[in-house]
Chains A and B, each alone.
Chain A
Amino acid sequence: MTRESVIAANRFGLGARPGELPDISKDPRGWLLQQLHGPGRTPAEFRNLPRTAGILVEFSELRNARRGERAADRDEPAPDIVRELTRNFREHYLQQTQARYRHAAATDFPFHERLVHFWSNHFAVSADKPPVTAVAGSFENEAIRPHLHGSFAELLVAAEQHPSMILYLDNQRSIGPDSRIGKRANRRRGDREIGLNENLAREILELHTLGVDGGYTQDDVTTFAKVITGWSIGGADPRGRMAEGTPGEFEFRENIHEPGAHRIMGKKYEDRGVRQGEAVLHDLALHPATAKHIATKLARHFVADDPPPQLVESIASAYMESGGDLPTVHAALVNADESWQHTLAKYKTPQDLVVSTFRAFDRVPDDGKLIVGALDTMGHTPYRPGSPAGWPDTAAAWGGADSLYKRIEWSNTVARFVGPLVNPLTLGEDVLGPALGSRTRQAISRAASVMQGMTLLLASPEFQRR
């Protein structure tokens, strides 16, 4: 068992399963590189879940069926509808979360799966805003999961045009002031909420592509917001002006799209409908600031909170040279020597901890609620980073004292579930190999019981890091 195999399985992957390290030791880099294309097609547990469009249609039907109960002058749906919707949101959320963690615990492509989680967090749609609660997991499965084998530009378009993203960042409400509907509305007085909404445009520039210091201005944000007016969802209101399109799917609405050519970061884009915004996305994807931003985030997630500049540089070069080809970029991360210098450089997120524990136990969680509860308690509720910036990749942001205490309590709780037949010292050697330090070995071997030994292993600095 080599030190490199520990890095490959625990830091790049989702945590070693017993018996895996000797195999990975033969060729740790090769083991990672052969996972870059993932399991080929989307695994069945995700394919069988309801799709975003279906979920959104289900909800709009539920709302419309009860519309009669609403008084004409109110903005709010009746409370029993709110309750029913909330229950449905929660069911979808739990189903998606359960599939996510069952798969993470069992997959033979743990590096690929970590990349799925990384990119899903990069394009975070936080499940705290209904109806996004019900469609954050489906976003990951539809917009992220199938798009890690091509270019960043393709991933970017898939993410920004996904209904979950449109809803999360309010783009369906953004109306060009000079569009047909915008002009009509502005002639009447008293129409609220008519106009541009810059949320999606701003987050694309600041979070998804160039980064906050990427050289764009507020004018670029406003102009880009105009360019992507009309990026909406089909069948939003079956009786009103938003009836067109396939219900619940991405729909370009010409009648709210701001017409005309626009200039963004010095380049002019002709009005070609939906193509106008897509052209901007393609240019943003190939911008050096985007390469730098993404290289930094990847290096920070996989290697160190404060990543070596040379590593960032080599990932960014691979990005620019390949035109943002994701497998090439991901391979550059694996192939850089800086990625292999320190064995336990990252403090695991609560999610890393939970998933790697299940993998160490060689078990698949069968109750999604337990996982959600555990992660919520440790301050990392699944799909709920609370902001479009996603979970930060630095421990300072979520690795406080109270969270550590709960990690210890959780370790102590699950240690009891595996029972006395698993020897904690053997398990520690199996999943941490040479990284298991003498202090921890000693603590485990002196433990008062097998259960306590297991708690010490799971709570040890070696297991809590990756």
Chain B
Amino acid sequence: MLDRRKLLQYFAAGACVATAPRLAMAKADTDARLVLVILRGAADGLAMAAPYGDGNYDGLRGELALAKPGSEGGVLKIDGIFGLHPSFRGVHSLFEERQAILLHAIATPYRERSHFDGQDMLELGASPGNLLRDGWLNRTLRPLGSSVGDELAIALSQNTPLVLRGTNSVTSWAPSRLPDADDDTLSRLEDLYADDEFFATRLAQAMESQAIAGNMGNLRRRGNDAEQLKAALQSTARFLAVENGLRIAVVESGGWDTHANQGAATGNLANRFAALDEALSGLRDGLGSYWSNTAVLVVTEFGRTARVNGTRGTDHGTATAALLLGGAVSGGRIVADWLGLANRDLYAGRDLYPTTDMRSLFKGVLIEHLGLDDAFVERDVFPESGNAKPLTGLIRTM
């Protein structure tokens, strides 16, 4: 039996993982890696990627408006209309390397303003009135064959998020707030569990997760949202950068509900964007050669109001922005059917008007990146979503 601490050193040293018992045995038709980052609380798409070239932008956004490219605190230019928030330096270089796509004016079919219902809709992949109970990413797993002890997907959180919940087995990992059990006790438990497959399988898998994720002394659950996000994406890289390892990871990030003092080029939201940018760069570095076969989706449940509110923030809106990044992505461009920010073009007179269905993005990624059958995606993953045609050309063809 491999001593646990030795195992830790073994992984930490970057040795090959031929002896890893379970997570490394996942079989699937695809070698692609998919990371879903959910920004909870409705991240402001108009700040994430500002339409600085839209004539109505400065007026609507007032003190929250970002400056033109090239000026101090100016946006990072993508094209003549859109620029990324200046915090997104890493994402911007991905644009320059043609590994990033910005999707704008995108939304789920949800048109009310509750975070909880909006997140449900995003994660169920439902239309209003759908009777779905399980998450769309869980439904995706069926043809990929994710079973107990042989999971393909992992949630980097305490409770499995709705998008991954369902009948297909998934695994989860989160840094613990509890003190570690010592190696001697764990090895005695391995002995004690030897006759009991249920416990033996799970303990072996857990020990391996611990080893892969690294000794998390520096990644305890404490710390602010930014540190937790960085830690979660760092661990994600470790779980995915294993040959025949996990394929799909879901990471959640909270605190995007900027009703007050949102800030513009600097401030609260700018700091969050910077942390997200840094975390995404960390994921890229951590994945190493796996990055070339990775796609990362960054999404949120809905957008925020086009206008600034009375407390220098923004309120719950409708359409927002999303990012698709990764070595597998055919990027360097924008996917947006842009109606503009004139008053008559706003949704309900206050929000960015949604023109792309979030599910079109998800479907496109599942079909092109994970190689899933179109008919399966339409029928089983996103039923009754015929109006949301899959986006095409998102992923590089080999």
Listed in ascending order, the chain A residues whose CB lies under 8 Å from chain B are 71, 74-76, 78-79, 82, 128-129, 192-193, 198, 202, 206, 212, 347, 373-374, 376-377, 379, 381, 384, 386-387, 389, 395-397, 399-406, 408-413, 439-440, 443, 447-448, 452, 455-456, 459-461, 464
Report the minimum CB–CB distance from B286 to chain A (whole Å): 20
The closest CB in chain B to the CB of A207 belongs to: B133
Besides A76-B315, A376-B159, A400-B171, 13 other A-B contacts (C-beta < 8 A): A75-B316, A76-B316, A78-B311, A79-B260, A193-B112, A202-B131, A376-B158, A379-B160, A395-B198, A396-B148, A401-B206, A447-B188, A461-B196
Which 3 A-B pairs rank lowest in CB-CB distance, beginning with the nearest?
Answer: A405-B206, A401-B205, A409-B178
Bound state CA distance, A464 and B385, in angstroms?
43
Kindly identify, within residues 139 to 161 of chain B, every residue whose CB is under 8 Å from any CB belonging to chain A. Answer: 148, 158-160
Interface window among B31-39, B60-68, B179-187: B179-187
Report the minimum CB–CB distance from A97 to chain B (whole Å): 16
Residues of A within 8 A of B309 (CB): 71, 74, 76
Report the minimum CB–CB distance from A379 to chain B (whole Å): 5
- Of A192, A202, A399, A452, the contact of B188 (CB 8 Å cutoff): A452
Report whether A464 and B199 are in contact in the complex, using a CB–CB cutoff of 8 Å. yes
Given A198-B129, A459-B189, A409–B181 Cβ distance below 8 Å? yes
Report whether A440 and B192 are in contact in the complex, using a CB–CB cutoff of 8 Å. yes
- Is B310's beta carbon under 8 Å from chain A? yes
Kindly identify, within residues 174 to 227 of chain B, every residue whose CB is under 8 Å from any CB belonging to chain A. Answer: 174, 176-181, 184-186, 188-189, 191-193, 195-196, 198-199, 201-203, 205-207, 209-210
Residues of A within 8 A of B171 (CB): 400-402
Report the minimum CB–CB distance from B159 to chain A (whole Å): 5
- Is B244's beta carbon under 8 Å from chain A? no
Report whether A452 and B185 are in contact in the complex, using a CB–CB cutoff of 8 Å. yes
Report whether A443 and B192 are in contact in the complex, using a CB–CB cutoff of 8 Å. yes
Report whether B133 and A71 are in contact in the complex, using a CB–CB cutoff of 8 Å. no
Residues of B within 8 A of A74 (CB): 309-310, 315
The closest CB in chain B to the CB of A399 belongs to: B202
- Is B113's beta carbon under 8 Å from chain A? yes
Interface secondary structure of A, over-half rule:
helix
Report the minimum CB–CB distance from A74 to chain B (whole Å): 6
Report whether A406 and B179 are in contact in the complex, using a CB–CB cutoff of 8 Å. no
Bound state CA distance, A401 and B21, in angstroms?
14
Residues of B within 8 A of A129 (CB): 114, 116
- Is B12's beta carbon under 8 Å from chain A? no
- Is B172's beta carbon under 8 Å from chain A? yes
Of the candidates B170, B184, B202, the one having the most CB atoms from chain A within 10 angstroms of its own CB is B202
Bound state CA distance, A439 and B310, in angstroms?
67
Of the candidates A76, A79, A401, A460, the one having the most CB atoms from chain B within 10 angstroms of its own CB is A401
- Is B27's beta carbon under 8 Å from chain A? no
Bound state CA distance, A62 and B72, in angstroms?
43
- Is B98's beta carbon under 8 Å from chain A? no
Residues of B within 8 A of A387 (CB): 133, 162
Of the candidates A76, A406, A409, A413, the one having the most CB atoms from chain B within 10 angstroms of its own CB is A76
- Is B173's beta carbon under 8 Å from chain A? yes
- Is B89's beta carbon under 8 Å from chain A? no
Report whether A71 and B310 are in contact in the complex, using a CB–CB cutoff of 8 Å. yes
Given A439-B195, A459-B189, A413–B316 Cβ distance below 8 Å? no
Given A379-B159, A456-B192, A406–B310 Cβ distance below 8 Å? no
Report whether A402 and B174 are in contact in the complex, using a CB–CB cutoff of 8 Å. yes
- Is B99's beta carbon under 8 Å from chain A? no
The closest CB in chain A to the CB of B309 belongs to: A74
Bound state CA distance, A78 and B113, in angstroms?
16
Bound state CA distance, A401 and B198, in angstroms?
10
Report whether A456 and B188 are in contact in the complex, using a CB–CB cutoff of 8 Å. yes
Residues of A within 8 A of B160 (CB): 379
- Is B272's beta carbon under 8 Å from chain A? no
Report whether B177 and A377 are in contact in the complex, using a CB–CB cutoff of 8 Å. yes
Residues of A within 8 A of B162 (CB): 386-387
Bound state CA distance, A129 and B114, in angstroms?
9
Residues of B within 8 A of A412 (CB): 178-179, 181, 185
Report whether A413 and B179 are in contact in the complex, using a CB–CB cutoff of 8 Å. yes
Bound state CA distance, A455 and B160, in angstroms?
27
Given A401-B206, A447-B188, A456-B189, A408–B181 Cβ distance below 8 Å? yes
- Of B170, B181, B315, the contact of A75 (CB 8 Å cutoff): B315
Report the minimum CB–CB distance from A357 to chain B (whole Å): 14
